[in-house]
Structure 1
Amino acid sequence: MNKNIKVKMSAKLAVMLLVVALSTSCVSNKKIAYFQDIQSVNQAKLENAAKFTEPTIQSDDILGINVFTLNPQSGAIVNQAAANTLLGGNASTSVASQQVSGFLVDRNGEVELSLIGKVKVAGLTTYQARELIREKASSVYKEPNVQLRFINFKVSVLGEVNSPSAYTLPNEKVSILDALSLAGDLTIYGRRDNVLIVRDNNGKKEFARLDLNSSEIFNSPFYYLKQNDVIYVEPNKRKVSASNSAQIQTIGVLASVISVIVLAITSFK
């Protein structure tokens, strides 16, 4: 085999390798665009969109409870009794331990309030628990007003997102899109057609896989998240095969090789 043939074969091989590298570094728009089946704004109407249901209070939840009365000093007795509890993360930062003020729901599903006593709140929504505490507080205070909310409403976002972390959220009505937005959205290597949600339902694990490419996600009972839900975005094949930096280095090396080969071919002519 003469030198010209060897050079030509090497050049063809280098070109083939470059094409393969480029093809693996490109991601099809069909795999990264959300809600592709919605073709225009005129079609953006869903008949059976998922309905939000209020989460219920469970043991080990931390509740922010404030009682307001006609006499501010009397209500302060309850409000100041909130225990300092260690909690991680918030809606805008990654997990970091911090002290928060709240009432811990014990293993019996109760919170203990000064002067009011123990109140069983497990299994109730925050609205129901607020009304129950207001009713019990009426026997101690005149015309009390009660505010109650979750302090540790947390979801975890893992895998191929830009900021994986556990996030403590300020409100109860949170969708999977809200959680992914907090995590900085999916990376280019995240599988948008197979996002896993793990949910703890009374001690039993429930699993669901959602396709962000389809508007059917809005119909899923997992569209709205529950306390302690875990979202996992698995990597696509391109991520598994090689990292982006490795691909860029490979392309640069192959481009240099091709340049050398082209020069060699030119010199043989």
Structure 2
Amino acid sequence: MHKILSRWLFFLTFVVLLNVSCSSIKNYKYFGDLSDTAKITKIVNGLYQEPKIQIDDILYISIQTLDRASSAAINEANGQVAGGVSSSFQSANILSGNTANSYGYLVDKKGNVHIPVLGQVSLVGLTTTEAREKVEQQAVLFYKSPSVVLRFANFKITVLGEVQRPGSYVMPNEKVTLLDAIGYAGDLTIYGKRNNVLLIRRASDGSVNAIRFDLNNSEVFRSPYFYLQQNDEIYVEPLKAKVASSDASQTRNISIFTAVLSLVIILVTRIN
């Protein structure tokens, strides 16, 4: 009888521990629906759409000509950006979550940018590619064979909640994914709810769109919101039960379960 009860004790303890470990893996594993084998799984990404320039965006605009002095007034208005901020400086801002001061041309409330020499140019609603072409068309009227560089100077993404480094991040380019943003924020903590990540996107008309993502499922790659836009906000909800307290509770229950079975074994053995 003693041997039989001991075997049952071992078996039940093993089952409990197995369930605990399996549930933990399920809760914290990204894209759990993908195969664990070496077989390649092809995933169709959501369609990338270039972000549109919005009111209050800040743009870096530079015009290069054979005579640098002639376009100096335009380029100097970019402040530190035009002065040649190094990529290492930009990377430091990204990794620290420091948005710092963005230098460049502000898109005013009417959607216009005021550029020295060129005058007022309406850029709201255009992609940076379209805006560059429009500025270049204007620059041709004043310069010979101008080359225009135009990009976002404040493509900001905010990541809040259960991540390692919550904050606002200025992206080095405008093709940014949900995973990129989470990566810049140092990944989710063990307390982050991976199956209910919230994206908040504010439209130009003042409305707010809220989109939920399940990072446990690879369907996230197919979402039309997988690629982010400037000023998007990501919120990672905490788990209802903190992992530490959950683990402590599970450990306590196992200890009680083991103690009860041990007591039963001792009583049965003594009776026999």
Q: 1:33 pairs with 29, 35, 54, which one?
A: 29
Q: Which residue of 1 aligns with 2:59?
A: 63
Partner of 1:12: none
Counterpart of 2:213 (choices 197, 210, 213) is: 210
Query: How far has the Cα of 1:93 moved from its partner?
Result: 1.2
Helix, strand or coil for the counterpart of 1:123? coil
Higher strand fraction (1 or 2): 1
Q: Which stretch shows the higher mean deviation, 200-209 or 61-70?
A: 200-209
Q: For residues 220-240 of structure 1, what are the alpha-carbon distances to aligned partners after superposition, in whole Å with 9 as ceiling and x for unaligned?
A: 01111111111111111222x
Write the distance in 2 (CA, Å) between the matches of 1:36 and 1:100: 39
TM superposition shift of 1:42: 2.7
**1:186 maps to which of 184, 188, 194:** 188
1:160 aligned partner? 162
String of CA shifts for 1:78-107, please: whole Å, max 9, x gaps.
11123689xxx93211236x3342001000
- The CA distance in 1 between the partners of 2:185 and 2:20, in whole Å, is 26
> Please, what TM-score do these two structures have when normalized by structure 2?
0.76
Partner in structure 2 of residue 197 of structure 1 = 199
**CA distance in structure 2 between the aligned counterparts of 1:215 and 1:245, rounded to whole angstroms:** 29
8 Å contact kept, 2:46–2:222? yes
TM norm structure 1? 0.76
| Aligned residue number for residue 123 of structure 1 | 125
Shift of 1:246: 10
**Structure 2 partner of 1:74:** 70
Corresponding residue of 2:85: none
The answer to whether structure 1 residue 54 and structure 2 residue 50 are counterparts is yes
CA RMSD after TM alignment? 3.2
- Kept in 2: contact 1:158–1:164 (CA 8 A): yes
Aligned to 1:177: 179
Q: Report the equivalent of 1:105.
A: 107
Report if aligned partners of 2:58, 2:102 keep a CA contact under 8 Å in 1. Answer: no
1:7 aligned partner: none
The answer as to 2:97 corresponding to 1:94 is yes
User: Which 4+ stretches in 1 moved above 3 angstroms?
Assistant: 23-27, 82-85, 243-248
Q: Which of 131, 134, 150 is the aligned partner of 1:132?
A: 134
SS in 1 for 2:163: coil
Q: Quick one: distance in 2 between partners of 1:38 and 1:163?
A: 28
Percent of pairs identical after alignment? 46
Equivalents in 1 of 2:238, 2:102: separation in Å? 35
Match of 1:151 in 2: 153
How far residue 24 of structure 1 moved from its aligned partner, in angstroms, is 8.6
Q: Does 2:230 match 1:227? A: yes
How far apart, in 1, do the equivalents of 2:221 and 2:160 lie? 21
Deviates more, 1:31-40 or 1:103-112: 31-40
Query: For residues 26-82 of structure 1, what are the alpha-carbon distances to aligned partners after superposition, in whole Å with 9 as ceiling and x for unaligned?
Result: 961011111111104434102x42011000001100000000001111111211123
Q: Report if the CA contact (8 A) 2:102-2:154 is conserved.
A: no
Query: Within 1, Cα distance between the matches of 2:24 and 2:68?
Result: 61
8 Å contact kept, 1:25–1:247: no
Amino acid at match of 1:111: V
Q: Matched residue pairs, number? A: 233
Which blocks of at least 5 consecutive residues in structure 2 are unaligned?
A: 1-15, 82-91, 256-272
Task: Give the distance between the partners of 1:105 and 1:247, measured in 2 at CA.
Answer: 52
Name the CA shift for 1:41/1:131 in 2 (closer, same or farther; >3 Å).
Answer: farther
